[in-house]
Amino acid sequence: MTLSDFQRKARLQAVEIAQRVLQQKPVYIDTETTGLDSSAEIIEISVVDHDGSVLFDSTVRPKNPIPREAQAVHHISNEMVKDARPWYVIWPTLRPILFGRLLAFYNADFDMRMLKQSLEQYGSPWKENFQTFDILKLYAQFASVWDPRRRSFKYHSLESAGRACKISLENTHRATDDTLLTRALLHYIADYSID
């Protein structure tokens, strides 16, 4: 398949952006949650450093039970988190790991909302102003599939992005695996050579 001039330019810009992001040595974050709505909470979080080492990986005991629909996606049961620490106990340990770093996510809007919501579940106000980067949006530009209805590039699931780039890591819907896949995807984009 040959790229149009528009697609080629968009992909080249995505490669350049990925290279600049990598120079900032980001940490990569993924969460698994009780759902998607305004009461959803984090039940697993992983933070992977720029070099691929795992800085933090933990299940989280939510205030409310994990719905079956969510369990069907990530296979994290209420039994698996019953002895985990709640978010308000985890956050003081996690925050210093994130502070002052560029935080890279696959769907930053969602994961940042979950970080905030999980803290607010315990009556703690969100006071953070982290610098974030969204690899979901970068991959959309890299893939360069135009969505005329949204008038922007089409978003792709992490699983389909990894598959399209022939990355051997799976999208298991477990935080560490998905964080490592997100990191690999950013490296793939940064290393891509445009003919």
User: Tell me, what CATH number does 156's domain have?
Assistant: 3.30.420.10
Q: Give the pLDDT of residue 2.
A: 65
| DSSP for residue 38 | T
DSSP labels for 129-192? --EEEEHHHHHHHHHT-EETTTTEEPP--HHHHHHHTT--S---SSHHHHHHHHHHHHHHHHH-
Residue 156's domain comprises: 5-191
Contacts of 111 (CB under 8 A, 6+ apart): 29, 30, 31, 105
Provide the pLDDT for residue 171.
83
pLDDT in tens, the chain (195 residues): 566 888 899 999 999 999 999 999 999 999 999 998 998 999 999 999 999 999 999 999 999 999 899 988 899 999 999 999 999 999 999 999 999 999 999 999 999 999 999 999 888 889 899 999 999 999 999 999 999 998 999 999 999 999 999 999 888 889 999 999 999 999 999 999 876
What gap in Å lies between CA 124 and CA 128, rounded to an integer? 12
How confident is the model at residue 54, as a pLDDT? 98
Q: Parallel, antiparallel, or unpaired: how do β-strands 27-33 and 102-105 relate?
A: parallel
d(CA 173, CA 69): 13
Q: How far apart are CA 116 and CA 95, in angstroms?
A: 12
pLDDT at 195: 64
Total of domains in the chain: 1
Which single residue is written with the structure tokens 């590039």?
153
Res 60: pLDDT: 97
Phi, psi for 44 (deg, rounded to 5): -155, 140
pTM (2 decimals)?
0.94
Q: Are 136 and 18 in contact (CB under 8 A)?
A: no
Q: Please state, in angstroms and rounded to a whole number, the distance separating the CA atoms of residues 58 and 91.
A: 11
What local confidence, expressed as pLDDT, does residue 67 receive?
A: 87
Cα–Cα distances in angstroms (integers) from residue 154 to residues 19, 43, 50, 77, in the given order: 22, 29, 27, 32
Q: How far apart are the first and last CA of the chain?
A: 12
